[in-house]
Structure 1
Amino acid sequence: MSFNADELEAPEWINSNFFRKALEYNGDLANVTINDFHISPATAIGDHFASIMFRVKIVQGIKKDVLGQLDVDLFATEIFMYSEVLNECGKILKNAGYNSLLAAKMIYQSTEPQKVIVFEDLKELGYFMFPRIIPTEKDTELIFSKLGQYHAATFKLAAEGHKDLKRKGGVFNLGDMDNLGFFRDTFSFFKELVETLPGFEEASEKLSKISFDKIVNKCRQIVNAPGTYEVLNHGDYYIKNMMFKGKNGIDLSEIVMVDFQICHWGSPSFDVVYTSALIPPSMRPKAYKLYFDTFIDVLKKSDYNGSLPTFEQLQKDLKSYRSLDLFFLATISSFLCADKNKMKDDIEALLKNTNLFKTFYSQSTYISYVKELLPRLLQEGILDDIINSD
């Protein structure tokens, strides 16, 4: 199966009347007649989790059951971002000379009788999903440059007094992490993997003293502490929440951000570390510097008049966020490294049986990440810091 099982058939309420209402919503079109339409899945297996995509975003099935237990209103956050934030960010970036699309245009939204958002069709604009598993150095530059642009725009918005930006989101502010049980299970799979790696006996011994609850509490404290400077983090900025343009669908040149559902006000280190979960550790220092240089360039070119953050401030925050490096390495990195063309199960199946995630921990690419990053975290005392935390 090439597509997620829950995306093969659209709900009955997505019909010609709904499409007419959506197309006429913003006033660009009137008296629309729908002669015919075709609905098809918008994402392949492994490409998406939080929403079911048909070109119209909806949520149902087990995904709805999982998301319904969370402490945040994902839909309300996304409406807020597309209605009040992203257009303003786009204006700031264009004034600074950054003309590529930041996010899809929202053309319709409603909360009753169903929660739904209709976006401009990015596929028709030439955008596609990431064509590889692991980003190249050029891909990494594109990803972090875009993040720097977005962060700078939100930083400037806040300095200008934009309201309601200071919301807490991200994975550590979704409520009880047991509602996202795959995190607990995958952390156990990670510890089991490290036990089998020759030369990692010290790391394995220390990991045995770190419970899932302990590392989650440590990470939650870090992300909710004030940063040396703060932005509105995307909160879920990873490769499958981006779409790309590029020559022959391979040589990437543009990126657009999607899924602004768990945005988080805090240190930019949250997005930077989260995004790094799929970036080879050797590429990260250069990517971080490019990210920050882009951030400053946007501010300078957009007539920002306040004091500018420094790279040293970012480095200080990144150092304090090293516990998140361990958490993401142990949990989401294994899944992100998976070759979706070889995945046998869709997201719904994985959520029903988290033991299926175990296969991701035998991938050579992922194991090489562990072998490169875990010794650094051990040497820096990050595991001891978590063990000794309250």
Structure 2
Amino acid sequence: MPEHANDFNADELQAPEWMDNDFFLKVLQNCEKKGSRVEIVSTKISPASMKGDHYASVMFRALLEYKLDGVHKTKSVILKTMPESDGHKKEMLGNTDIFEKEISMYTRVLPRFEKILRNAGDNTVLKAPCLYSALEPKKVIVFEDLVPAGYEVVRGRVLSVEEVKAAYFKLAKWHAISYKINLEEPQFFDEFQRGIFNMSNIANEPFMASGIINFVELLKKTPSLQSYLPYFEKLQPKLLERCRASYAEYRDAPKEGACYVLCHGDFHAKNMMFKHHKGTDDVEDVMLLDFQIGYVGPNVNDLIYSIYCLLDENMRLDFPALLYHYYTVFKSTLASIGFKGTSPSLMQIRQHYRRHKDLELFLLVTFLPMWYAINDEPDVENMMTSDEYRRAMYDSKEYIKYVEQVLPEYLHLGYLEE
């Protein structure tokens, strides 16, 4: 068991028995030169992430010592697999296709995206190197560890504006390429039909429906917020269904002129690793991670998601400038990869953003309290399983202060009108 065990998820303290030398030999034989002789010398396995970094998988880091044709080598790899211990996480994820999706992203989709960029003279990297993947006998993906290359997950602070712009830069390129492919070859994304609101195992979780309920209770007991109660009481039975419709819009009811792309689906700070210049601390690169719940939908959904899952209070005020940054990269990427159609205008994107306002309200009342709680105490298991714990999140003074600030803005924007 590693030191400071409480800093890690309980199901990542002990590696499963199948992660043995035979397994790692298979991994190395897959990623080294074909026909080379590989001999495992030693393996050292530890948790790959900190508590609160993720929930929808189990992750380990393995330091491998081996001989390649007699030459001593070392390699650090990250292993991502499904939970094996009985409990909520296993039940929620057991019948989903999240691993099938992610393997397809790393082996089929993102390699094509990068090839399109290379053909346009663009060397932007969209993925960490995938060394091995399998669905049988265990669902597992093995990546090259980015930490030795200087990448890190940002913890203990909010992202800087420079880091956020780097993340939007990558997202905009990703969106632009998928926009073009989806118009020309929509069947290429056939397996990416369901986002988080359309995956029954996740969409039916109590935490998805309880947010608006707990928010209404907060409004009732907070004098400064009671004037907003009638709107959210009317919205309560409709909010989750409207979000489901937003995520399913491309498949069920596509809108003329909408911008449909392959959405990341979980575009937040813990799903990114940043590399900084050692001398100046400037951002050199950001690597987007975790493609398990990608789906084809409105590009604005990733952008709206980022409001409460990527930005802090101050950067939310500057979102129009960040959206413009995203848009310029999106538009220039379409031009560079040879898109001949009419790209959506910035005004159209802003109009589509407003049309999906219910997603933003859902994130305010459901996900934002969770982010405040994760920053204070990263107990994701309780957050997902305990009604009492979730209700307590709404007592956060920081959260209430923000709600008092943002609800007047939503009122003035017309968000609180049917």
Q: What is the TM-score with the length of structure 2 in the denominator?
A: 0.84
- Asked if structure 2 preserves the Cα contact closer than 8 Å seen for 1:137 and 1:283, the reply is no
CA change 1:250–1:131 in 2 (3 A) is: farther
- CA distances 1:240-279 after superposition (whole Å, capped 9, x unpaired): 1111111459654321111111111121011111111132
Give the equivalent residue in structure 2 for 1:382: 415
Shift of 1:26: 4.1
Alpha-carbon distance in structure 2 between the residues aligned to 1:355 and 1:121: 38
Q: Letter of the 2:270 partner, please give it.
A: K
Alpha-carbon distance in structure 1 between the residues aligned to 2:136 and 2:129: 21
Alpha-carbon distance in structure 2 between the residues aligned to 1:52 and 1:66: 13
| The one of 28, 33, 43 aligned to 2:49 | 43
Give the equivalent residue in structure 2 for 1:137: 161
Residues 1:200 and 2:200 are matched in the alignment: no
Residues 1:347 and 2:371 are matched in the alignment: no
Shift of 1:359: 4.3
Q: Letter of the 1:51 partner, please give it.
A: S
Alpha-carbon distance in structure 2 between the residues aligned to 1:205 and 1:260: 38
Give the equivalent residue in structure 1 for 2:73: none
Give the equivalent residue in structure 2 for 1:24: 29
| The one of 7, 12, 19 aligned to 1:7 | 12
Superposition map of 1:155-166 within 5 A: 155-161=179-185, 163-166=187-190
Q: Letter of the 1:284 partner, please give it.
A: F
Farther-moved stretch of structure 1 (314-323 vs 138-147): 138-147
Alpha-carbon distance in structure 1 between the residues aligned to 2:139 and 2:12: 17
Residues 1:283 and 2:314 are matched in the alignment: no
Superposition map of 1:210-221 within 5 A: 210-211=235-236, 213-221=237-245
- Asked if structure 2 preserves the Cα contact closer than 8 Å seen for 1:4 and 1:346, the reply is no
Superposition map of 1:105-120 within 5 A: 105-120=129-144
Give the equivalent residue in structure 1 for 2:342: 307
CA change 1:200–1:352 in 2 (3 A) is: closer
Residues 1:260 and 2:295 are matched in the alignment: no
Residues 1:186 and 2:191 are matched in the alignment: no
Residues 1:245 and 2:270 are matched in the alignment: no
Shift of 1:374: 2.3
CA RMSD of aligned residues (A): 2.4
Shift of 1:178: 5.9
Shift of 1:332: 1.1
Give the equivalent residue in structure 2 for 1:64: 90
Superposition map of 1:53-92 within 5 A: 53-54=59-60, 55-60=78-83, 61=85, 62=87, 63-68=89-94, 72-92=96-116
CA change 1:176–1:23 in 2 (3 A) is: closer
Q: What is the TM-score with the length of structure 1 in the denominator?
A: 0.89
Give the equivalent residue in structure 2 for 1:126: 150
Give the equivalent residue in structure 1 for 2:66: none
Shift of 1:101: 2.5
Alpha-carbon distance in structure 2 between the residues aligned to 1:267 and 1:9: 40
Q: Kindly indicate whether structure 1 or structure 2 has the higher relative contact order, using CA contacts under 8 Å at least 6 residues apart.
A: 1
The secondary structure found in structure 1 opposite 2:213 is helix
**Identity over the aligned pairs, expressed in percent?**
33
CA change 1:28–1:357 in 2 (3 A) is: farther
State how many pairs are aligned. Answer: 380
Residues 1:230 and 2:260 are matched in the alignment: yes
Detail structure 1 runs of 4+ shifted over 6 Å in the superposition.
none
- CA distances 1:187-242 after superposition (whole Å, capped 9, x unpaired): 3332233334443222123222332x421111222332225121111111111111
Give the equivalent residue in structure 1 for 2:198: 173
- CA distances 1:319-339 after superposition (whole Å, capped 9, x unpaired): 101110000111112222345
- Asked if structure 2 preserves the Cα contact closer than 8 Å seen for 1:133 and 1:337, the reply is no
- Asked if structure 2 preserves the Cα contact closer than 8 Å seen for 1:187 and 1:331, the reply is yes
Alpha-carbon distance in structure 1 between the residues aligned to 2:183 and 2:127: 22
CA change 1:232–1:73 in 2 (3 A) is: same
Give the equivalent residue in structure 2 for 1:388: none
Structure 2 residues not aligned, in runs of 5+: 1-5, 61-77
CA change 1:208–1:75 in 2 (3 A) is: same
The secondary structure found in structure 2 opposite 1:199 is helix
Alpha-carbon distance in structure 1 between the residues aligned to 2:121 and 2:393: 41
Alpha-carbon distance in structure 2 between the residues aligned to 1:256 and 1:366: 29
Normalized per residue, the structure richer in strand is: 2
